[in-house]
Structure 1
Amino acid sequence: MIPAPGRRFCGEHGQQEEGNDRKRIPCPLDPKHTVYEDQLQKHLKKCNSREKPKPVYFVQDINAGLKDVAEIPEKQVPISSLSKEELENLIIKLKKASNGLELHLKEQILSHQALQEALNDPKNGESAFKHLKQQASILGNMEKLHLLGPGRCFVEFGAGRGKLSHWVDVALQNVENVQFLLVERATTRFKVDGKHKRRDSVFERLQVDIQHLCLNKVPILEKKKLPVVGIGKHLCGAATDLALTCLVESYTACCDRENEEPAPKRSRTDKTEVASNNSADNESNKDDCKPVAGIVIALCCHHKCDWMHYVGREFFKSVGLGPVEFNYFQRMSSWATCGMRETTTKASTSEESEDHTDDTEEHEQTFSNTENVSDTLQGILTVEDRKEIGRLCKRLIDHGRIEYLQQRGYKAALQYYTESAVSLENVLLTAVPSPSLIPEPTT
Structure 2
Amino acid sequence: MGRRCTFWLPKKKRFCAYPPLPNSELCGNHTKRSDDTWIVCSIDPSHTVLESNLESHLKRCPLLKRKTSLSLQPFYQKGINGGEDDDDDDDDVTSELKRMAVHSMSTNQFIELIEKIKSVHGLMCKDIRESYVVPETCRVWMDQAINWKIPFQEKHVIQQASILGNLEKHGVLKAPSIDSNGEPIHSSADSSNTPAVVEFGAGRGYLTQSLADCYGVSKVFLIERKSYKLKADRSLRQKESLMLERLRIDIEDLNLNAIESLQGLPYLAIGKHLCGPATDMTLKCCVGEGVAKSYLRGLSIATCCHHLCQWKHFINKGFFKSLGITKDEFHAITWFTSWAVDADHGSDFADTTTHNEKILAEVDMLSNMSATERAVLGFMCKDIIDAARFMWMRDNGLESDLVKYVPSNISPENHLLIAKR
* Structure 1: runs of 5 or more not aligned: 3-9, 17-24, 257-289, 343-373, 434-443
Q: Does 1:146 align with 2:171?
A: yes
Q: Which residue of 1 aligns with 2:359?
A: none
Distance 2:156 2:133 in 1: 14
TM-score by length of 1: 0.69
Q: Does 1:231 align with 2:270?
A: yes
Q: Which residue of 2 aligns with 1:169?
A: 212
Q: Offset at 1:33?
A: 4.0
Aligned residue among 397, 406, 417 for 1:418: 406
Distance 1:338 1:104 in 2: 24
Q: Which residue of 2 aligns with 1:406?
A: 394
Computing the radius of gyration over CA atoms, which structure comes out larger, 1 or 2? 1
Q: Offset at 1:120?
A: 2.5
Q: Does 1:249 align with 2:288?
A: yes
Indicate conservation of the 8 Å contact 1:312/1:397, yes or no: no
Q: Does 1:179 align with 2:219?
A: yes
Distance 2:126 2:139 in 1: 32
Q: Offset at 1:166?
A: 0.4
Q: Offset at 1:419?
A: 1.2
Q: Offset at 1:68?
A: 4.1
Given the superposition, is the C-alpha separation of residues 421 and 69 from structure 1 closer, same or farther in structure 2, using an over 3 Å criterion? Answer: same
Given the superposition, is the C-alpha separation of residues 64 and 131 from structure 1 closer, same or farther in structure 2, using an over 3 Å criterion? Answer: same
TM-score by length of 2: 0.72
1:208 alignment partner, SS class: coil
2:292 alignment partner, SS class: helix
Report percent identity of matched pairs: 32
Map residues 23-62 of structure 1 onto 2, 5 A cutoff. 32-33=48-49, 46-52=60-66, 53=68, 54=70, 55-62=73-80
Q: Does 1:297 align with 2:301?
A: yes
Given the superposition, is the C-alpha separation of residues 33 and 337 from structure 1 closer, same or farther in structure 2, using an over 3 Å criterion? Answer: closer
Q: What is the identity, as a one-letter code, of the residue corresponding to 2:209? A: H
Q: Which residue of 2 aligns with 1:316?
A: 320
2:229 alignment partner, SS class: coil
* Structure 2: runs of 5 or more not aligned: 1-17, 20-26, 175-192, 347-362
1:334 alignment partner, SS class: helix
Q: Does 1:123 align with 2:127?
A: no
Given the superposition, is the C-alpha separation of residues 141 and 85 from structure 1 closer, same or farther in structure 2, using an over 3 Å criterion? Answer: same
1:50 alignment partner, SS class: helix
Indicate conservation of the 8 Å contact 2:399/2:420, yes or no: yes
Can you list the C-alpha shifts for 1:242-274, whole angstroms capped at 9, x where unaligned? 100110115xx2437xxxxxxxxxxxxxxxxxx
Q: Which residue of 1 aligns with 2:245?
A: 204
Q: Does 1:107 align with 2:95?
A: no
1:120 alignment partner, SS class: helix
Q: Offset at 1:172?
A: 2.7
Distance 1:48 1:34 in 2: 16
Indicate conservation of the 8 Å contact 1:298/1:429, yes or no: yes
Q: Which residue of 2 aligns with 1:352?
A: none
Indicate conservation of the 8 Å contact 2:155/2:410, yes or no: yes
Indicate conservation of the 8 Å contact 2:343/2:372, yes or no: no
Q: Which residue of 1 aligns with 2:380?
A: 392
Q: What is the identity, as a one-letter code, of the residue corresponding to 2:232? A: V
1:205 alignment partner, SS class: strand
Q: Does 1:335 align with 2:374?
A: no
Distance 1:312 1:217 in 2: 25
Indicate conservation of the 8 Å contact 2:223/2:247, yes or no: yes
Q: What is the identity, as a one-letter code, of the residue corresponding to 2:168? A: E
Distance 2:234 2:106 in 1: 55
Q: Does 1:216 align with 2:257?
A: yes
Distance 1:387 1:12 in 2: 45
Indicate conservation of the 8 Å contact 2:147/2:153, yes or no: no
Q: Which residue of 2 aligns with 1:92?
A: 115
Indicate conservation of the 8 Å contact 1:115/1:132, yes or no: no
Indicate conservation of the 8 Å contact 2:141/2:214, yes or no: no
Given the superposition, is the C-alpha separation of residues 120 and 410 from structure 1 closer, same or farther in structure 2, using an over 3 Å criterion? Answer: same
1:235 alignment partner, SS class: strand
Q: Offset at 1:152?
A: 1.1
Higher mean C-alpha deviation, range 128-137 or range 402-411:
402-411
1:384 alignment partner, SS class: helix
Q: Which residue of 2 aligns with 1:160?
A: 203
Indicate conservation of the 8 Å contact 2:342/2:375, yes or no: no
Indicate conservation of the 8 Å contact 1:12/1:34, yes or no: no
2:288 alignment partner, SS class: helix
Q: Offset at 1:339?
A: 4.1
Question: What RMSD, in angstroms, separates the aligned Cα atoms of the two structures?
Answer: 3.6
Aligned residue among 170, 188, 192 for 2:232: 192
Q: What is the identity, as a one-letter code, of the residue corresponding to 1:152? A: P
Q: Offset at 1:340?
A: 3.8
Given the superposition, is the C-alpha separation of residues 205 and 321 from structure 1 closer, same or farther in structure 2, using an over 3 Å criterion? Answer: same
Q: Offset at 1:154?
A: 1.0
Q: What is the identity, as a one-letter code, of the residue corresponding to 2:75? A: Y
Indicate conservation of the 8 Å contact 2:269/2:299, yes or no: yes
Indicate conservation of the 8 Å contact 2:345/2:412, yes or no: no
Count of paired positions: 346
Q: What is the identity, as a one-letter code, of the residue corresponding to 1:165? A: T
